[in-house]
Amino acid sequence: MALREIVFLPEPVLRRKAKPVTKFDKELQTLIDDMIETMREAPGVGLAAPQVNISQQLAVIEYDEDEDEEENEDAPPKPKKLYVIINPEIIKTSEEKVMGIEGCLSIPGLQGEVERHESIQVKALNRHGSPVKLKVDGWMARIFQHEIDHLNGVLFTDRATRVWKPREDEDEVPLD
Ligand code: NI
């Protein structure tokens, strides 16, 4: 495995609609493993292939949902959930929308307030090319929507109601 270089705005690949993945070969498996390693190293909670300069419909997501619930501090830690989504499509969205603060590994030094669906259903392929259907909510749903936007050349700053440079003492937001 190897770390990949994360690209930043205004790199054009970030604005392109990524191409569907058609070959589930060894090269793809290496790319997926490299992206997982790169996401963990960043550290980030998600990474889309265009962010490592590859215009393909692929993203990795890893987020510890326990972080949502501070009252569970005494519970034994659950393993983080890791998702690999390929050619994803949002097939259902909740009517309920929620505001949250986002940042992006490809737009360092900016945060923004973004409205997202509270829960979504996604149709995708897993790393072996098998179809999967996923239902996610809360922060996980936010990360999924952020990553799927990346695959369409859309960035959180396009959707944000306001964008700012965080002060040094401001809480850090998870990046993806
Ligand atoms: Ni991002």
Residues with CB under 5 A from ligand 1 (ion): 104, 176
pTM (predicted TM-score): 0.93
Amino acid 77: pLDDT:
67
CATH code of residue 54: 3.90.45.10
Domain that holds residue 116: 12-67+77-164
Whole-angstrom CA distances from 53 to 9, 19, 88, 90, 127 are: 11, 12, 19, 23, 19
For the segment 79-130, what is each residue's pLDDT rounded down to a tens digit?
789 999 999 999 999 999 999 999 999 999 999 999 999 999 999 999 999 9
Q: Is the peptide bond before 166 cis (omega within 30 degrees of 0)?
A: no
Establish if 1 belongs to a structural domain.
no
Catalytic-labelled residue, pool 95, 147, 170, 172: 147
Establish if 170 belongs to a structural domain.
no
Establish if 149 belongs to a structural domain.
yes
Amino acid 172: pLDDT:
82
Token couple for 13:
């690949």
CA of 75 to the centre of ligand 1 (A): 31
3-class secondary-structure state, position 126: coil
Q: How many domains does the chain have?
A: 1
Establish if 169 belongs to a structural domain.
no
**Strands of 81-93's sheet in order across:** 46-48, 58-63, 81-93, 119-125, 131-137
Establish if 174 belongs to a structural domain.
no
Establish if 2 belongs to a structural domain.
no
Establish if 171 belongs to a structural domain.
no
pLDDT class of 67 with cuts at 50, 70, 90: low
**Average predicted confidence (pLDDT) for the chain:** 94
CA of 90 to the centre of ligand 1 (A): 17
Establish if 16 belongs to a structural domain.
yes
The answer to whether 118 is a known catalytic residue is no
